[in-house]
A and B are shown apart, each in its own frame.
Chain A
Amino acid sequence: DAGVIQSPRHEVTEMGQEVTLRCKPISGHNSLFWYRQTMMRGLELLIYFNNNVPIDDSGMPEDRFSAKMPNASFSTLKIQPSEPRDSAVYFCASTRGAGEQFFGPGTRLTVL
C-alpha cells in the first residue's frame, strides 16, 4: 500500500489567497484526521471524519478553515483567505476502526 498521500508537499502563497490541501487515505480505512503542527502549539487535531461524515470539528480555528470528504478516498482542507499565522505543517492521518493512526508526510504551508 502507498500509505497516506498528501499534496502538495510544499505550498507558498500570499496572504489573502485560497489554499487547498489534499489527502488520500489508505484504502479500506474509514476514519480520516487533519492535524496542524507548529512550534508554538505543537500537534493539534483540526477535524476528523468517520465514514466520510465530520464527527468533531472543534479544533478548526475559525470560519476561514473548512474541510470536506466527498468520498472514502479523498479529503480536502481549505483555508480562505489565508493569513501568515496559518503557516504550519498540516498532516492527514487515517485509521480503520480504533487504534493506530497512519500519518501522511505532511504539507508545509508558508503564507507570506
Chain B
Amino acid sequence: AQSVTQLDSQVPVFEEAPVELRCNYSSSVSVYLFWYVQYPNQGLQLLLKYLSGSTLVKGINGFEAEFNKSQTSFHLRKPSVHISDTAEYFCAVSEGGTGFQKLVFGTGTRLLVSP
C-alpha cells in the first residue's frame, strides 16, 4: 500500500531564506505526486504536480520540486520565501493501481516564515 512521509512537522525560516520541505513515499508501482498548500481557514490548493516527463517540476508562487525515483522522494523547494508563504504544505501520492484517482496525503509540514 502507498504511504507518504513528511518528516518535518514544522519548519521555521526567515524571510528571503531558501527552504526545502521533505517528502518521501512508499509505492511499488508507478505514481503521480503532488504538493498542496493550505492557508489558514481555507481548502487545499495545488502547488505543483508530477505525472511524467521531466523530474524537475515548477509550480506556482516560485516553488519547485524534484522527483527522485531511486530515493522515492519528492522534496519541495523555494529559493527565497516570503511572509505570505506561511501555511501548511501537504505532499500526496496516487497510484496506478487505483487509476491514479485516490490520493494519500502526508501529515503536513507547517512552514513558518518570520521577518
Least Cβ–Cβ distance between A87 and chain B, in angstroms:
15
What chain B residues lie within 8 Å of A43 (beta carbons)?
Answer: 44, 90, 105, 108
- Interface secondary structure of A, over-half rule: strand
Interface range on chain B (Cβ under 8 Å from partner): 20 to 34
- Interface secondary structure of B, over-half rule: strand
Per-residue A-contact encoding for B40-74, CB less than 8 Å = 1, 0 else: 00111110010100000000000000000000000
Interface range on chain A (Cβ under 8 Å from partner): 20 to 34
Least Cβ–Cβ distance between B19 and chain A, in angstroms:
21
Q: Does B94 contact A (CB under 8 A)?
A: yes
* Nearest A-chain residue to B51, judged by Cβ: A99
Q: Does B99 contact A (CB under 8 A)?
A: yes
Chain B interface (Cβ within 8 Å of chain A)?
32, 34, 36, 42-46, 49, 51, 90, 94, 98-105, 107-108
8 A-B residue pairs with CB within 8 Å: A4-B43, A43-B105, A97-B101, A98-B32, A98-B101, A99-B94, A100-B34, A105-B42
Top 4 nearest A-B pairs by Cβ distance?
A: A98-B100, A103-B43, A103-B44, A43-B105
